[in-house]
Structure 1
Amino acid sequence: MKTLLNTPLLAALLLAGTFAGCEKAGPEVAPAPSRTDLLTEKDWKLAAETVSPAFPTEEGELITDVFAYMPECDRDDLMHFDRAKTCALREGASQCASGPQQFAGTWAFEADDTILRTNLQTLGASSFNVLRLSETTLQLKGIRTIDGVDYTYVYTYAKQ
């Protein structure tokens, strides 16, 4: 009787088992950027601002598109966040005639990076729900109570 060690079938099986455990190393996948990585080191420019329910203007018109009613010199302002947890709101290219050219402050993420808190000089402290944060877009939601009415604002920024 022939032993199994002498059969070509066993040799083929052993050889196949040797190579089955080897895989080609694929390209290393970089870890996804953190929310802090996405937020910091670049400027953000406001691209849209809406409010719900509609907010009355001084003329009595009800508006939901706040951005359309903003002065041009406020539409191009830039918000900057850095890793040291400081931030600044700076005038853009079309500067408003009066007022400071920059508001300095601090920022922090809370609740697993789903809430962004800011505290800017003279503008005060604010808290925003982070609706979207990507390589190109920052979308925040905040609530302001004015004359007993809760207004929900959604701010959409584009990375510059």
Structure 2
Amino acid sequence: MKLKDELKTLKVFTDPISDNLIKNRVYDTLVWNIKKATYYKRFFYSFSIILLILNATIPIINQLNNYSIWVTIISSIGFVITSILTLINFKDVWYRYRVTSEIIKSECMKLNCKIGEYENDDREKMFLNKFEHILSDERNLWINSRFNNQDKENLEEVRDGE
């Protein structure tokens, strides 16, 4: 599904939510996550395809006489692209954004259909609590993937106001 088409379908998940504050927060979060997932997916595939092509040309150029400098240049470019892919973790970030948006969509459908834990009258409050918990879990995954233990402790102290 194209990004534009997917963004058009988000109202299906959020329109039935009666509280405008919750509705807008969920909608904006879904838009953010889907756009980011698409962005990182495109970068991952673009860099991976370029890397594949570069690596495939190395043996070919290596067989040609007097072109050894090109092998070095292409290998260096391939190394830089591999390093970028490893440093930024495009695939992992893309996956994390996508999973978060799909979990939120699932919870929205449960809320809208009034099933499971959303059968009672205060279902939107329960949904908001679950929604914020999902975002908190995603944030913790991000922190764990980006920072070492000392950095995490410093972030927790800042968050806790110490």
**TM-score between both structures, scaled by the size of structure 2:** 0.23
> Which structure dedicates a bigger proportion of its chain to strand?
1
> Which structure dedicates a bigger proportion of its chain to helix?
2
Higher relative contact order at CA 8 Å, sep ≥6: structure 1 or structure 2?
2
